[in-house]
Amino acid sequence: MQKFFQDAVEFTPILLEGAWATILVTLGSLVLSTLLGLIWALMRISGNRWLDRVAIVFINFIRGVPIIVQLFYIYFVMPDFGVSLTAMQAAIIGLGIAYSAYQAENFRAGIEAIDHGQVEAAQSIGMGWFLTMRRVILPQAFRIVLPPYGNTMIMMLKDSSQASTITVAELALQGKLIAASTFKNTTVFTLVAVFYLVMCIPLILLVARLEKANSGGRR
């Protein structure tokens, strides 16, 4: 056990660098997936048949292609078309696009959960579609989707490990490199698991609190 703690002290600074990269990838892809997901959701409920179909095709395509393949395509294939990105940029864009499909369904479900009578009431006082969405529907929908949004953050944090496949030096890759050079697999991957838990537990507690708040404090 003493040896474990000695190794932990030695490896922790390197793993902290990887954890920071993990956080950056997660936050960047979270912002991108939120923006794109909201756009796809609004296209789905716009009432325009063509916008709805485009969004459906995109969402189904993205959900049907593994994230790792999307990352490979963005990082290794896009340069053939003149678009070269750093590994970090490719990871953020790849995860952001991949998760936007899931965010879109969360947002759409939240929007459709709002009583349609509120839309009719807003339109009866002269509000247009966009104004109704911005002032009436979206503020209520965001509250509904907060719990699944939190779950998405947790999944995205864990899936950020796939960025290691395109050489992003995040937590999982740093762990692999240390283990490969020291052969101390048990110590290294135990520490990696602990780091992920430390990052995920606050999000898990936040989701639980949001679910409780959303249910009006009922257990």
Asked if 156 contacts 8 with a C-beta cutoff of 8 angstroms, the reply is: no
Query: What is the distance between the alpha carbons of residues 81 and 43, in angstroms, rounded to a whole number?
Result: 28
Burial tier of 154 (Cβ tally within 10 Å: 0-12, 13-18, 19+): middle
pLDDT given at position 217? 47
Ranges of the chain with pLDDT below 70:
1, 214-219
Asked if 165 contacts 72 with a C-beta cutoff of 8 angstroms, the reply is: yes
Integer angstrom CA distances of residue 23 from 19, 61, 142, 159, 179: 6, 27, 23, 11, 22
Domain ranges of the chain: 2-214
Integer angstrom CA distances of residue 100 from 47, 58, 93, 104: 20, 10, 10, 6
Query: What is the distance between the alpha carbons of residues 179 and 190, in angstroms, rounded to a whole number?
Result: 11
pLDDT digits (tens, 9 = 90+) for 174-187: 999 999 998 889 99
pLDDT given at position 214? 67
Asked if 129 contacts 182 with a C-beta cutoff of 8 angstroms, the reply is: no
Q: What are phi and psi for residue 161, nearest 5 degrees?
A: -60, -25
pLDDT given at position 219? 43
pLDDT given at position 86? 93
pLDDT digits (tens, 9 = 90+) for 66-108: 999 999 999 999 999 999 999 999 999 999 999 999 999 999 9
pLDDT given at position 132? 83
Rounded (10°) angle between helices 2-44 and 185-214: 40
CATH 2.60.120.10 describes domain 2-214: no
Asked if 149 contacts 207 with a C-beta cutoff of 8 angstroms, the reply is: no
